[in-house]
Each structure stands twice: as structure tokens, then as C-alpha cells.
A and B are shown apart, each in its own frame.
Chain A
Amino acid sequence: GAGVSQTPSNKVTEKGKYVELRCDPISGHTALYWYRQSLGQGPEFLIYFQGTGAADDSGLPNDRFFAVRPEGSVSTLKIQRTERGDSAVYLCASSLTGGGTDTQYFGPGTRLTVL
């Protein structure tokens, strides 16, 4: 597709369960970012991939959160032992090279609700 896609669009899970969120970036974009957005807040940085490697994972809140991008394209954000506080919209963005003037293009997001 032409844009960033994310699946699922909505995910409802129970506290303690494991979830996986998928991001398919724009073809050819080497940089991929995950953000989390809570109601009334701007997107909060989680992790940045350059190619297959996580160049910066300093935004991951704790070790329950993990992300991979094994072939340098699709990325999966994994959350173990989900907590109610993990409920938010998880946004993925990609950019061509990751340079400072690059435009980051956002996907539609996955709304995660932890009951």
C-alpha cells in the first residue's frame, strides 16, 4: 500500500495477557518508530529502528515491552503481562532515512484496551 498500515485497528485484552501489534511501513523507508498516545497527550516515543536494528529503545517503559523488525520492513511491538495502564493508541511511523529533516508518516494506530 501507499501508506503505513497497522493491524489490528482495535485490540481488547484482559489484564495479564500477551499482545502483538503489527506495523507495515512505507516501502523503502529504513526508519521505523513506535509511539504511544494517551488521551489528551501528544505521541510519546517508544522505540526507533534503523533497518533491522533498534537504534534507540529508551522510550520503552519497562521490560514487558519489546519490539522487533527482523527483515528491516514489518515491525511487531510485543507487550507481555498487559496492565490497565497500557491502554492507549499505539502509533507506528516510518521515514525514508531517519535524518533530522525527514518527514515521519504515521499509520492509523492500534487502540489497545486492557480490561
Chain B
Amino acid sequence: QKEVEQNSGPLSVPEGAIASLNCTYSDRGSQSFFWYRQYSGKSPELIMSIYSNGDQEDGRFTAQLNKASQYVSLLIRDSQPSDSATYLCAVTLFSGGYNKLIFGAGTRLAVHP
């Protein structure tokens, strides 16, 4: 079992809809959870971080964390074509005396007009 799992997609949604991206992780000790956006040919860019159970909202983005279910999600409201990218879920794993960041393989989102 991979440490961080994501559906590879593509997830296709119409412009203006809500895009829902999901991620599960295996290490119950994980403390910090991040969503990165990566446009094709570019480097990852942090868009959301969440550290406690519940929802964390920033503009059109909402991150949701459920530690009991080991589940993290990202909701994108009013999706725009410019949101089309790969979304990487990342989780910290305490290993070797520090918190290592482990990435999922990413979910490709396509927002069509």
C-alpha cells in the first residue's frame, strides 16, 4: 500500500462546478497535510495546508481533513479553466527525527468551458 494515494484522473468538470479531489494516507501519526497544484511543465505550488480535523477555507478552495478515516480532500468551488492542473496531496511522515513530506501521484483536473 502506498503511503499517500490519489485517483490519477483525469477528473473532468464543467466550468462553474465544484471539483472534489480526494486523498488517503496510511500513517496514522501524520500531523500536517498539504495540497499542491502543478501546472504541466511547472513546479508544485502550495495552495492549501490543514493540520486539524474539519474544514479549512481559502477563497474558492476548501481543504477537509478526517484523521479517523485517514482522508483529506480538496474542494474547488466555481471551477475555472485556469484550475486545470495536477493536484498533489502531500502528508508529513515523522521519520528519522524530522517530518518528511510524502507526495501522492496526483490527480489531473480538467475544467472545460
Contact = CB atoms under 8 A, between A and B. Distances in A.
Contacts of A41: 105-106
Contacts, number: 60
B97 A45 contact: no
- Interface of B (DSSP majority class): strand
B101 interface: yes
B51 A55 contact: no
A23 B100 CA distance: 19
A19 to B, nearest CB: 19
Contacts of B34: 103
> Which range contains the number of A residues in contact with the other chain?
20 to 34
Contact of A45 (B42, B44, B100): B100
Contact of B44 (A98, A101, A106): A106
A108 B45 CA distance: 10
A99 B99 CA distance: 7
A43 B98 contact: no
B32 A45 contact: no
B99 to A, nearest CB: 4
Interface in A57-115: 58, 91, 98-101, 103-109
Given A42-B88, A42-B103, A42-B104, A100 B94 contact: yes
14 contacts: A40-B105, A41-B106, A42-B90, A44-B103, A48-B100, A50-B98, A56-B98, A56-B100, A100-B99, A101-B51, A103-B46, A104-B46, A106-B44, A108-B43
Interface of B: 4, 8, 31-32, 34, 42-46, 49, 51, 88, 90, 92, 94-106
Interface of A: 33, 35, 40-45, 48, 50, 55-56, 58, 91, 98-101, 103-109
